[in-house]
């Protein structure tokens, strides 16, 4: 599971207060795996001092992450297209 391995490597690094950018890592996952990934992301946030910027066009992953993460540690920003 690529996401879990990537976050584990970051967690074990000597970096503190880092910023992790995830660009739609769940795009090819089905609903069950997406929920598991949301749990992994939430555990990473609880266990480390890192912050995550999660980029996605999928609104469902936002709901999945919100189920696992406290409201105070999750901020959702919706971007709109410029015309």
Spatial separation of the C-alpha atoms in residues 74 and 77, rounded to whole Å: 10
The answer to whether residues 67 and 30 touch, using CB atoms and an 8 Å cutoff, is no
pTM over 0.85: no
- Angstrom CA distances, 43 to 40, 46, 65, 82, stand at 5, 5, 11, 35
pLDDT for the residue 15: 79
The tens digit of pLDDT for each residue in 20-72 reads 999 999 988 999 999 999 999 989 988 888 999 988 888 888 888 888 887 66
- The values of phi and psi at residue 23, to 5°, are -100, 90
């Amino acid at each position: 599971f690529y996401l879990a391995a990537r976050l584990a490597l970051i967690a074990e690094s000597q970096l503190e207060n880092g910023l992790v950018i995830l660009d739609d890592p769940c795009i090819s996952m089905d609903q069950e795996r997406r929920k598991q990934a949301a749990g992994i992301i939430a555990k990473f946030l609880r266990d480390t001092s890192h912050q995550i910027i999660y980029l996605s066009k999928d609104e469902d992953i936002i709901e999945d992450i919100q189920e696992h993460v406290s409201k105070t540690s999750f901020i959702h920003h919706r971007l709109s297209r410029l015309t």
